[in-house]
């Protein structure tokens, strides 16, 4: 189920809110768990069994590791290895087996069975949450969760289940047992949810439509400027799409008394690639830093090993986003850029905010074109067009897209900075009633847009 | 002492049993998913072209832009799409076959198809009797990951041929 759908907004959400607040406090976890399972099963019910299996396996292994970590550390380590291996096996089979088997069969290993498996939605997110839980128990950073329902709720909580943020257990540990929703917190949650809905429906979907138009142009209409307009449209689309989802998830969490961590911090205003990755999908970057980069030795190793660590982490980051060579290329592209910043450029760019900001934005835009094109020849053609290879600088089609797309691109650029947020807060304090009326109006606009747009999936659902 | 050792041994045995069950259950689930009834994976645009030939001159092939404009659907969001639209604004015949990426997309695609038909009905209602007959006879066929909309003077023949082609 998609947050920005009529079924969700007018059926599922009111039902879960009603059931949650009518239920006695002790039954609220049960209510949330039941609705989370319904939410997950919507459309693809068979994968609910995989999720239930994952919950059971991780719950039991969590207890085994916890019971043995004090006196049998090797035994605890063995069980941690088996548990993490189980999670990675599940992720590997469903997400990577079809890709790996295709590659191996392509080089003549025809005995490897080809298997087309559908990716269970959100598997990358909930698997990473489960692994972080197990590792944190082993490291003695958290107490094991003895309540099965509470643990199941941690894994399945519907607001962040299918597209993050990746919530670490310690962030919600206390809230799983006791939480309080005040009217102010509920209202703040609603505000976050509406902000996310606006980002998704009024910005991301419009920018996506612009990108689709440009992407589907025939070679005869291609030009460098048109290709850049398309690339900018996708760049803003993926930001509003994903950060919109995260805002909705955080907002829904607040409405039920949970505080999820921030996942975006105006990434397109970053003055360097390092800074960009501290602001984009923060929960994933933190996960890789905590559970891969630091255990590999981080930067407290020789330069050669540091280079290796960076490239491993970024190749894995790319692979996390999808099983495809383009995702590996995209990950390594960032690995190389980060190494260049660290060893060659140092802080020469970030000390000049505006040139740094523009260069970072352009590099990120180029990176998204590696990311979005799963077909290498299409990727090379598109990126080639961006640099004028095989096309003119501009043509009549460019003029059309400037006329029709400039406004939405400018809005995208404006709303991806903190300027609007600051102005909005000042406005809300000064003109409270008008501000409320504007929010209602924006919600109605979103609903109207949703009636017109029949299908609007979130891009990060694919990962 | 020996009793304690026995308890510990038994506990470890249970853990090993659980480990085996966990891995086996996962592999059985994968086997089940890999072997559930699947409709044949066909070349969607080629199949739609073939189906469009059943009743000639009713439609012509359309591009992703028309799909977006008329249905609000982006071709890139799906595994494959084949779309034949009406020959002119005064025609109603259409064929749209979508192979979705996952079943959660099915409802949204059917909804988009229904919206399109509802819009066409408002256009032809009152004067386009033939077109309204076609639109009232619309077929929505959902099989596995395929969603098919048929608006045609011989919708039954198109549907029959489609089902024959995707049968495993």
pLDDT at A349 (0 to 100): 67
**Are B104 and A93 a contacting pair at CB < 8 A?**
no
Q: What is the pLDDT of residues B110-126, one digit of tens each?
A: 888 998 999 889 888 88
For residues A169 and A200, state if they share a domain.
no
pLDDT at A459 (0 to 100): 61
For residues A218 and A363, state if they share a domain.
yes
For residues A42 and A137, state if they share a domain.
yes
Tell me if chain B has a CB within 8 Å of the CB of A44: yes
Partner residue opposite B104 with nearest CB, options A43, A64, A94: A43
Intervals of chain A under pLDDT 70: 43, 71-72, 218-220, 347-350, 452-463
For residues A34 and A91, state if they share a domain.
yes
Residue A305 included in any domain: no
Residue A291 included in any domain: no
Q: Residue A60: its chain B contacts at CB < 8 A?
A: 18, 22
Among all residues of A, which ones are annotated catalytic? 321
For residues A59 and A104, state if they share a domain.
yes
Tell me if chain B has a CB within 8 Å of the CB of A48: no
Tell me if chain A has a CB within 8 Å of the CB of B160: no
For residues A60 and A126, state if they share a domain.
yes
* Residue A156 domain boundaries: 6-179
DSSP chain B: -HHHHHHHHHHHHHHHHHHHHHHHHHHHHHHHHHHS-------HHHHHHHHHTTSTTSEEE--HHHHHHHH---GGGSSEEEEEEESSTT---EEEEEE-SSGGGHHHHHHHHHHHHHHHHHHHTTT-HHHHHHHHT-EEEEETTEEEEEESTTHHHHHHHHHHHH--
Torsion of CA B130, B136, B138, B142, to 10 degrees: 180
What is the C-alpha separation between A407 and B133, in angstroms, rounded?
42
A294 CA to chain B: closest CA distance, Å? 28
Tell me if chain A has a CB within 8 Å of the CB of B149: no
The tokens describing A89, both together, are: 């096996």
Place of tokens 């260069």: A359
Query: Residue A31: is the preceding peptide bond cis (ω within 30°)?
Result: no
Of the residues A179, A212, A247, which one is the last residue of a structural domain?
Answer: A179
A55-68: b (≥16 Cβ within 10 Å) or e:
bbbbbbbbbbbbbb
For residues A166 and A224, state if they share a domain.
no
For residues A363 and A392, state if they share a domain.
yes
**Are A53 and B19 a contacting pair at CB < 8 A?**
no
What is the C-alpha separation between B153 and B135, in angstroms, rounded?
10
A207-221: b (≥16 Cβ within 10 Å) or e:
bbbbbbbbbbbeeeb
The closest alpha carbon to B149, from B92, B103, B102, belongs to B92
For residues A101 and A245, state if they share a domain.
no
Residue A287 included in any domain: no
What is the C-alpha separation between A407 and A35, in angstroms, rounded?
40
Q: What is the pLDDT of residues A130-172, one digit of tens each?
A: 999 999 999 989 999 999 999 999 999 888 887 778 899 998 8
Intervals of chain B under pLDDT 70: 1-2, 37
Probe site for chain B from A40, A374, A454 (most B CB atoms < 10 A): A454
Residues A83, A85, A86, CA angle at the centre, nearest 5°? 65
CB atoms within 10 A of CB A419: 12
Cβ-Cβ pairs closer than 8 A, A with B, add up to 86
Q: Which residues contact A312 (CB under 8 A, 6 or more apart)?
A: A292, A296
Of the residues A145, A179, A213, which one is the last residue of a structural domain?
Answer: A179
ipTM reported for the complex, 2 dp: 0.78
Residue A304 included in any domain: no
What is the C-alpha separation between A453 and B54, in angstroms, rounded?
32
Sheet holding B80-86, edge to edge: B59-61, B80-86, B94-99, B146-151, B139-143
Number of domains in chain A: 2
Residue A332 included in any domain: no
CB atoms within 10 A of CB A89: 16
For residues A373 and A440, state if they share a domain.
yes
Residues A79, A81, A84, CA angle at the centre, nearest 5°? 105
Tell me if chain A has a CB within 8 Å of the CB of B47: no
Q: Which residue of B has its CA nearest to A6?
A: B108
Residue A256 included in any domain: yes
For residues A134 and A246, state if they share a domain.
no
Predicted TM-score (pTM) of the model is: 0.82
For residues A173 and A207, state if they share a domain.
no
């Amino acid at each position: 189920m998609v947050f920005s759908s009529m079924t969700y907004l007018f059926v599922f959400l009111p039902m879960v809110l009603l059931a949650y607040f009518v239920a006695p406090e002790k039954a609220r976890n049960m209510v949330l768990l039941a609705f989370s399972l319904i939410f997950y099963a919507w459309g693809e019910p068979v994968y609910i069994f995989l999720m239930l299996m994952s919950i059971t396996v991780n719950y039991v292994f969590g207890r085994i590791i916890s019971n043995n970590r004090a006196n049998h550390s090797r035994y605890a380590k063995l069980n941690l290895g088996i548990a993490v291996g189980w999670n990675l096996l599940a992720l590997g089979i469903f997400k990577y087996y079809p890709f790996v088997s295709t590659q191996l069969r392509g080089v003549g290993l025809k005995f490897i069975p080809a298997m087309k498996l559908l990716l269970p939605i959100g598997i990358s997110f909930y698997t990473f949450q489960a692994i972080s839980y197990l590792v944190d128990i082993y490291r003695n950073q958290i107490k094991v969760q003895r309540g099965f329902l509470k643990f199941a709720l941690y894994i399945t909580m519907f607001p962040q289940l299918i597209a993050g943020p990746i919530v670490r257990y310690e962030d919600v540990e206390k809230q799983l047992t006791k939480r309080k929703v005040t009217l102010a917190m509920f209202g703040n949650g609603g505000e976050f949810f509406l902000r996310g809905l606006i980002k998704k429906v009024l910005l991301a979907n419009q920018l996506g439509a612009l990108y689709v138009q440009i992407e589907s142009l025939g070679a005869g209409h291609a030009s460098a400027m048109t290709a850049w307009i398309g690339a900018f449209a996708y760049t803003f689309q993926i930001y509003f799409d994903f950060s919109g989802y995260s805002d909705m998830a955080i907002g829904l969490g607040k409405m039920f008394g949970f505080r999820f961590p921030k996942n975006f911090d105006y990434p397109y205003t970053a003055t360097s690639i390092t800074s960009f990755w501290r602001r984009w999908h923060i929960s994933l970057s933190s996960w890789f830093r905590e559970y891969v980069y630091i255990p590999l030795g981080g930067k407290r190793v020789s330069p050669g090993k540091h280079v290796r660590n960076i490239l491993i982490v970024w190749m894995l980051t790319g692979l996390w986003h999808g099983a495809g060579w383009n995702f590996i290329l995209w990950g390594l592209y960032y690995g190389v850029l980060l190494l260049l910043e660290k060893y060659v450029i140092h802080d020469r760019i970030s000390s000049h905010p505006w040139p740094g900001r523009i260069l970072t934005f352009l590099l990120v835009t180029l990176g998204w074109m590696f990311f979005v094109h799963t077909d290498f020849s299409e990727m090379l053609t598109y990126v080639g067009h961006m640099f004028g290879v095989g096309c003119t600088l501009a043509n009549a089609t460019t003029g059309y897209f400037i006329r029709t797309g400039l406004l939405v691109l400018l809005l995208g650029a404006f709303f991806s900075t903190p300027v609007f947020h600051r102005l909005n807060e000042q406005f809300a304090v000064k003109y409270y009633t008008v501000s409320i009326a504007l929010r209602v109006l924006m919600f109605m606009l979103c609903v109207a847009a949703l009636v017109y747009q029949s299908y609007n999936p979130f891009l990060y659902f694919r990962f | 002492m020996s009793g304690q050792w026995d308890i510990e041994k038994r506990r470890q045995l249970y853990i090993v049993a659980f480990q085996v069950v966990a891995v086996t259950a996962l592999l059985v689930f994968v086997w089940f998913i890999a072997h559930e009834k699947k409709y044949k994976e066909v070349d969607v645009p080629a199949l739609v072209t073939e189906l469009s030939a059943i009743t000639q001159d009713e439609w012509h092939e359309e591009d992703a832009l028309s799909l977006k404009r008329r249905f609000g659907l982006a071709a890139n969001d799906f595994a494959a799409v084949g779309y034949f639209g009406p020959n002119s604004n005064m025609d109603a015949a259409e064929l749209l076959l979508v192979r979705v990426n996952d079943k959660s997309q099915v409802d949204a695609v059917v909804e988009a198809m229904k919206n399109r038909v509802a819009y066409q009905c408002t256009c032809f209602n009152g004067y386009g009797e033939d077109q309204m007959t076609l639109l009232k006879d619309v077929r929505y066929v959902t099989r596995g990951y395929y969603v098919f909309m048929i608006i045609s003077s011989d919708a039954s023949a198109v549907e029959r041929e489609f089902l024959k082609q995707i049968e495993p």
